[in-house]
A and B are shown apart, each in its own frame.
Chain A
Amino acid sequence: MRSSLSLLLALVSACASAGGRTHATPGPAPAAAAATRPAAAEESTSVARPQYPSTYARHSNPPVVIRNATIMTATGQEIPNGSILLKDGRIVAVGMKVDAPADAVVVDGTGKYVTPGLIDDHSHLGVYAAPGTDAESDGNEATNPVTAEVWAEHSFWPQDPQIPLAMAGGITTIQALPGSANLIGGRSAILKLIPARTVQEMKFPGARYGLKMACGENPKRVYGRRGGPSTRMGNMAGYRAAFIQAESYRRKWDAWNKDHKGDPPERNLRTESLAEVLRGNMYVQNHCYRADEMAQMLDLAHEFGFKIRSFHHAVESYKIADLLAKEGTSVSVWADWWGFKEEAMDGIQQNAALNQQAGGRPIIHSDDPSGIQRLNQEAAKAMYAGQRSGIPITRDQALRWITVNPAWALGLDSIVGTLEPGKMADVVVWSGDPFSVYSKAVQVYNDGWLTYDRADPAHQPRTDFELGQMPAPGSDR
């Protein structure tokens, strides 16, 4: 509740491989598994210098075995009385019978549930940090409708007190996005949600950048009286002009990169990001509400030969779920947000379920520091809304909406998002069925590191911001 206004009139601030096997045997050795990290983006762009590299390092931990829990793998399996072994940052074994090394920490999972770490592919944590004053408002570079040159990581504040709250909700990976004021808002940051001093320590190693684009009302509202675009056709013209420049930029650099003859072309950060999209090295993450506009954006993508990885918010995606499924574009949606602006008026609770029914790839995202703490509940609402309307959504499908599907949207589905041997040990232990309103994350492992433990204040990280001005959880001040 940032202000009393939001108390009684909450204003929406949102910019607004089913394996199916039970793994009873140890998986590939961690070394082999490490090969599944994403290949570094293809040599490209304009420079050979390191570009703001990740300094992420796994915390060394003893092996952990969680026993006698219900294990929801997000690969089609829900294993009662199952066990899971985490070692050296990897999931080693999942199943009914799991052998653990003698030095493994044993966690009694009786009555508990285990899922992959949750992934939110639409967050503004760190870029719209609490306490929410202008000083922390770093999400929209609203100075030009095309700001492909800005990178969300350069705004990200690792001491945002909202980060530990999201961790306590079972989130292990986020995509921190620029806002949606601009047609092209800039690069996203794909981050491990861990306590850290610098954003570099959080950057998911090898993850590709996303490019935030936005349709509809926001850009034309922000720029309508500032030189445009002021219409949806103006929006389209704006994207096209930007990508036409990027095509030319890409041609020049690709030609120069062949033989390095003569002076290199002049470097331009804005067109460089867009050229990376054209080369397929960056994923387009497109804020877009209306069905007809999403269809326009697909045409834009066809014109310039790129793919839109996910439509975000996509409140009308159910109207064109067949088209989106055919196109292979995922949809990152809310369970039930609607009505805060005209392009959000047609939101329905069955949106995710209808996309699933059509063969699409639904994702439940938050776009909200409160919602990110309950992504499991949001998935539950969307699943049961579908089921009650006769759409037979399975628990595994709904779990995928908040795990491996967003992992796919970020290009990380071979590394995180399911409980399979060889995958990164991003794991949540829940007090009960994660689709119950009464369940809470009790332990969160991020790359095997116990980053949150509801029973142990030593594993309830607090940001610098909290010290001396916010009461510690469970204490007075």
Chain B
Amino acid sequence: MIALLLAQTIAITGGTVYPVSGPKVAEASVLIRDGRIVAVGTNVAIPSGATRIDAKGKWVTPGLIDGAGQLGLVEISAVPATREGSVQGDTIAAAFNVAEGINPASTLIPVTRIEGITTALAVPSGNLVSGQAVLIDLDGATIEQMVVKSPVGIVADLSESGKDDAGGSRAGIPARLRQVFRDALEYERRKTDFSRAQMRPLAASAGDLEALLPVLHGRVSLIALANRRSDIETALRLAKEFRLKLILAGAAEGWEIAGAIAAAGVPVLVEPMDNIPGYDSLGIRYENAALLAKAGVTVALLETDTHKSRNLRQQAGNAVSYGMTWDQALRAVTLSPAEIFGVADRYGSLEPGKVANVVVWSGDPFEFTTGVEHVLIRGKEIPLKSRQTELFERYKRLPPTY
């Protein structure tokens, strides 16, 4: 049975294909076998046994990637029993990996994927160091089947809210992080001493320090939340001091120092439709994503509200409204997040060898007129059903039949 499924060959034919890695191709086909893309183009030989999806007049893109939210980690925001995204009692929760909190049966997953989002970052929240974010595909009966990469990065809060766990001052945040980072490196050098209790007390638990080592060795990213310009600069400074692989998240005032961010080679995760000023981000504005991209920063666009992850395409459309090119915006919800999260060898574009996360749209994916016609995750066609479509079917004629 499994072998049979794996052997499935699907051909999406005749659509306008947006590979993202290259220019769009009209009347092209995407051939998928064993969950992978095997060919893309106008001269693809379709095997006789292939299942055909007619995409004539349609747009074909990679599945969209939302680099934010807590899909699988939250069911009902106001019900703590259904929230798994943060851990209590550990302000440096570096060892907290959210993967085993993911609920593959979450109703949010079908709701989101049938709107063309196929992959998302599940991100821990709270604490000065929140924990480890993991990238998941929005299909699979088990956590193992869903996880694309774990961890993608360790999240640290360098914004206003991080102060709570740093003595109440912004200056306390990098001070605390430096201490933790140094202790992690010392712990690594002196594990024997540590196990013999011959070390002074460390700034975090051994497990959390251990978990930070891949970050300190540049193998795993530090995802730093920072909005105020000075906080972004602090993140850049820390990254330089400890030679970290940094990802900036939020970066509301990033546009003010876009050149410096670009020069540091640091990518940024931005929510385009956010422009409500607070003391953490008085310079917040709609043009942030466009100005960062223009300066040469690798930008990924976000929808941060987990229940609204399906609105990632509205976020992208609004980014275009405020100055991104359409091509930049499409890249910023596909290939750019794949690059930022270190999975561009498998995700983010329609190219032979890549995982077959593919969406067939009735038109421009960012436009409200457009509907999703087909969603494939790892080469499997996803039924366009969710709890919400069931509710609609029940109540579209009143009174309902129970």
Residues of chain A at the chain B interface (Cβ within 8 Å): 1-12, 130-133, 161-162, 165, 217, 318-322, 336-342, 345-350, 354, 358, 369-370, 373-374, 377, 380-381, 383-384, 388-389, 391, 435-440, 469-471, 473, 476-477
Contacts and interface: CB of A to CB of B under 8 A. Distances in A.
Contact of B314 (A337, A342, A377, A469): A377
A405 B278 CA distance: 33
Contacts of A384: 368-369, 371
A322 B365 CA distance: 34
B126 interface: yes
Contacts of B345: none
Nearest to A10: B305
A370 B321 contact: no
Contacts of B281: 1
State the 10 A-B residue pairs at the shortest beta-carbon distance, nearest first: A437-B317, A4-B159, A4-B225, A10-B305, A341-B78, A339-B307, A3-B161, A380-B368, A9-B125, A2-B278
25 contacts: A4-B159, A4-B162, A4-B227, A9-B70, A131-B279, A132-B276, A319-B398, A336-B310, A338-B307, A339-B75, A340-B76, A340-B307, A342-B79, A347-B388, A349-B388, A358-B398, A374-B273, A377-B368, A388-B371, A389-B392, A437-B321, A437-B367, A438-B320, A469-B282, A471-B256
A6 B79 contact: no
Contacts of B388: 338, 347-349
A360 B303 CA distance: 32
Contacts of B314: 377, 381, 437
A381 B368 contact: yes
B279 A322 contact: no
B275 interface: yes
Contact of B256 (A7, A389, A438, A476): A476
Q: Which of B123, B161, B273, B396 has the most CB of A within 10 A?
A: B396
Contact of A435 (B276, B310, B368): B368
B271 A1 contact: yes
A239 to B, nearest CB: 23
A337 B308 contact: yes
Q: Which of B155, B160, B283, B398 has the most CB of A within 10 A?
A: B398
B306 interface: yes
Given A384-B368, A437-B367, A370 B159 contact: no
A342 B391 contact: no
Interface size class of B (residues with CB under 8 A): 35 or more
B76 A342 contact: yes
B225 A8 contact: yes
Interface of B: 68-70, 74-79, 85, 108, 123, 125-126, 155, 157-162, 225-227, 249-250, 252, 256, 271, 273-285, 304-308, 310-311, 314, 317-318, 320-321, 366-369, 371, 388, 391-392, 395-396, 398-400
A interface majority secondary structure: loop
Contacts of A346: 391
Contacts of B277: 130-131, 161-162, 470
A349 B391 CA distance: 10
Given A162-B276, A348-B391, A436-B367, 8 more contacts: A1-B276, A1-B280, A2-B276, A8-B249, A12-B307, A337-B307, A347-B388, A354-B396
B160 A4 contact: yes
B108 A339 contact: yes
Given A337-B307, A470-B282, A12 B77 contact: yes
Q: Which of A10, A342, A345 has the most CB of B within 10 A?
A: A10
A350 B310 CA distance: 15
Nearest to B161: A3
Nearest to A370: B276
Contacts of B369: 384, 435
B68 A7 contact: yes
A477 to B, nearest CB: 7
Contacts of A345: 76
B392 A339 contact: no
B384 to A, nearest CB: 11
Contacts of B76: 339-342, 345
Contacts of B321: 437-440
A8 B123 contact: yes
Given A1-B276, A340-B78, A384-B368, A9 B395 contact: no
B400 A319 contact: yes
B368 A477 contact: no
